[in-house]
Structure 1
């Protein structure tokens, strides 16, 4: 994607985000920040020389609060369109957007900024969220920037886990459960808090290796599907296991554990 001239509404979006996330205190400060951002952008695309004055700019205020992930989209776009100068990394515009990005990410779940696979690329997890895609790469009106909505922001970040194989024997009754249609799972969490140590976050779940949680109940470990939430599962006769060294670190032994994926009410 070649750099192109951003609309002043895109700059308005950034300075409004600065106000929203407490980096800018007043409208006058917003105008000064916008002039600085525009000057760097115009230098990057060749509209201004290195020592030319910043363009005329007055900040326009939005009538709604922006979704934090939409702000991240604005920042990514601005950086891509404005970093073609020799002093970019040490300049005020780069410092400003880095500070704003850090402030936005600090108010979101930590997993938002972890890197995940997307095809052949490795990208921050927030770039895979719907609101990121719904925000225009080049904003031309403040109304195009998604609203924050209610105060609760739930972000379905893609999680990584430990791949494991499903083992079945002669007594196997999944009743439509996971083991009736796939041969692998991905262990995404362990215990009541559903957390997984960083060393075991190897691969994202997929249709061929859906996510499961491993719980310790009645003196043994069992695995249960992640979805659908609230559904009760029973033993199907299937087990999960992997020869990966991480399995012993997670479970405490090297043996298979039962997969509870049989839903009696089906």
Structure 2
């Protein structure tokens, strides 16, 4: 998950596009597309493309490769053969990954470690929002014992006009949620006094990935990211399965849109349809 960072250079404001988390309006901003990391081998880029993900801005990180701003693909993810090869292009609706959380009804235990009060409260907010829907999957924050999802921090400043807010991955082939969410504690990510609604909305989004949701506008990031985010996140035929009952036109304010204004965002009506269909 990325957000826009504004810098002052020789009296001019230079800003990057804001992926997943937000893109703020700035009349003096020059939007920049992140360069593709040269450290990613060509064969890995091809694997990412074959999985139906965009290679623009892909980079090597601990545990695998970060793509589409906030999605971590492990080596195993890239090697797995999908069982659901359907992918529909050029529509805006909710999408799931090939793997989902199984063993329903199920309680997913979430633990926050090494993070401040705003991140703990943000986690509680995200959990409350999911649990209020009455799904067959519920969440519980724990302070000890084994957790299914661990939320921890990393410290990383902006690069090329971008700053990563958080990242996560997708469910495993064995039906478990992705096991971690990483949240950036750098001051330029959330400020020195993080807003709980903002932090909670990002955690809510990242948990969405953990249980199998892709970006609502993956096929055309321009819908939420503006011209700098235009493009399809993947058209290889796998990796995104449309969820019946969700709209085929633009769906404003979805919690899984690639970009937002950086503020409070929760489920819209179609998000709730998608969550109820899957869980």
TM-score bracket, shorter-length normalisation: under 0.3
Larger relative helix fraction: 1
Q: Which has the larger radius of gyration?
A: 1
> Under a length normalisation based on structure 1, what TM-score does the superposition of the two structures give?
0.23
Bigger relative CO (Cα 8 Å, ≥ 6 apart): 2
